[in-house]
Amino acid sequence: MSANPLLELRGIDKSFGPVQVLRDVAFAAYPGEVTALVGDNGAGKSTLVKCISGIYPVDAGEFIFDGRPVTINSPRDAASLGIEVVYQDLALCDNLDIVQNMFLGREKRNGLVLDEPTMEQMAAETLAGLSVRTVKSLRQHVSSLSGGQRQTVAIAKAVLWNSKLVILDEPTAALGVAQTAQVLELVRRLADNGLAVVLISHNMNDVFAVSDRIAALYLGQMVAQVKTTEITHAQVVELITAGRSGELGLAADPGVNGNGAAPADSTAGGVS
């Protein structure tokens, strides 16, 4: 794959008031590759995504997109660079229907007038491709959808557009078996089409199934970013729960000797 990352972050710091959530984070997403971003609950994954998409301003750090330094101050900026995001907290408008949500901010128009039939058709096709079979009507308000249906709408909304970078924050959390498979396949297909894809997930099977690289956050610090082929399942879990695994991750505590045994033990119960 290409050696130049599409998006590169350097030295990102982010605090909420007195709480520092991200510390000197570096991260890169490569075109044509799926980069899995993993980390414990509260590690800072979603915060990092929101910094990338311009929802939160960063306190310090650089963004380099397509080789040029950029500043992203709002989701509009991110969208205009070609960044699409599926947020963990889905951010759908409950008072709008499925079609309206999917095209929000980028409605198809005929002159001044909204082109509803076209949008409805496109929405139907996209949802069909995501194995959604239980939605009664595309004109249903999203407030009446089930958890998985909402998630699907959010995913469909992000993949409708021709973008360069797609970030999915736990996209399959609420999905059924078939739908999950479909989304993972979609993720792979997007990358194969040359897009950069960032996938956040707690499911190691999924991560190893589709990702090319794995980046691990531990308490707001990026402890490793490696090729998926160069790391094992157990090592990733160690990175997530202890912040280091053998050579990888944080430097060993001065007080403890550096053999990775203790942390490995500590997470034994965590691997299902």
Ligand X SMILES: Nc1ncnc2c1ncn2[C@@H]1O[C@H](COP(=O)(O)OP(=O)(O)OP(=O)(O)O)[C@@H](O)[C@H]1O
Angle (deg, nearest 10), helices 116-129 and 147-159: 110
Euclidean distance between CA atoms 149 and 139, whole angstroms: 13
Tally of residues, the chain? 272
Residues 90-119 that bind another protein (CB under 8 A): 91-96, 100, 104-107, 109, 112-114, 117-118
d(C-alpha 154, C-alpha 179), whole Å? 13
247 binds, among ligand X, its own copies, Mg ion, none (CB under 5 to 8 A by kind): none
Q: Report how far residue 43's alpha carbon sits from residue 252's, in angstroms, rounded to the nearest whole number.
A: 19
Q: Is 270 in the site for its own copies (CB under 8 A)?
A: yes
Retrieve residue 182's tokens: 């479909």
Q: Which of 4, 137, 193, 232 binds another protein (CB under 8 A)?
A: 137
| Residues 39, 220: Cα–Cα separation, whole Å | 9
Residue 49 CA to residue 168 CA, distance in Å, equals 9
**From its phi and psi, is residue 262 left (phi > 0), alpha (psi between -120 and 50) or beta?**
alpha
Interface pick for its own copies out of 185, 226, 246, 264 (rule CB under 8 A): 185
Query: Is residue 252 a contact residue for another protein (CB under 8 A)?
Result: no
Q: How far apart are CA 183 and CA 156, in angstroms?
A: 10
Q: What part of residues 2-31 is at the interface with Mg ion (CB under 5 A)?
A: none
| Residue ranges binding ligand X (CB under 6 A) | 16, 19, 21, 39, 41-47, 88, 134, 144-149, 174, 176
Contact 157, 132 (CB under 8 A): no
Q: Three-state DSSP class for 116?
A: helix
The answer to whether 70 contacts another protein (rule: CB under 8 A) is no
Q: Report the nearest approach of another protein to the CB of residue 230 (Å).
A: 27
What's the closest the beta carbon of residue 218 comes to another protein, in angstroms? Answer: 13
Binding segment for Mg ion (CB under 5 A), chosen from 2-10, 62-70, 77-85, 146-154, is 146-154
Sequence-separated (6 or more) residues with CB below 8 Å from residue 91: 154
* CB atoms near residue 258 (< 10 Å): 12
Out of 133, 189, 227, 233, point to the residue binding another protein (CB under 8 A): 133
**Rounded to the nearest 10 degrees, what angle do helices 147-159 and 177-192 cross at?**
10
Of 28 and 132, nearer to its own copies (C-beta) is 132
Interface with another protein includes 128 (CB under 8 A)?
A: yes
| Site residues, its own copies (CB under 8 A) | 16, 19, 39-43, 45-47, 88-89, 132-136, 144-149, 152, 170, 173-182, 184-185, 202-206, 209, 219, 237, 240-241, 267, 269-272
| Site residues, Mg ion (CB under 5 A) | 46, 88, 146-147
| Site residues, another protein (CB under 8 A) | 15-18, 50, 53, 55-57, 74-76, 79, 85, 87, 91-96, 100, 104-107, 109, 112-114, 117-118, 120-121, 124-125, 127-129, 131-133, 135-139, 143-144, 178, 182, 241, 262, 265-270
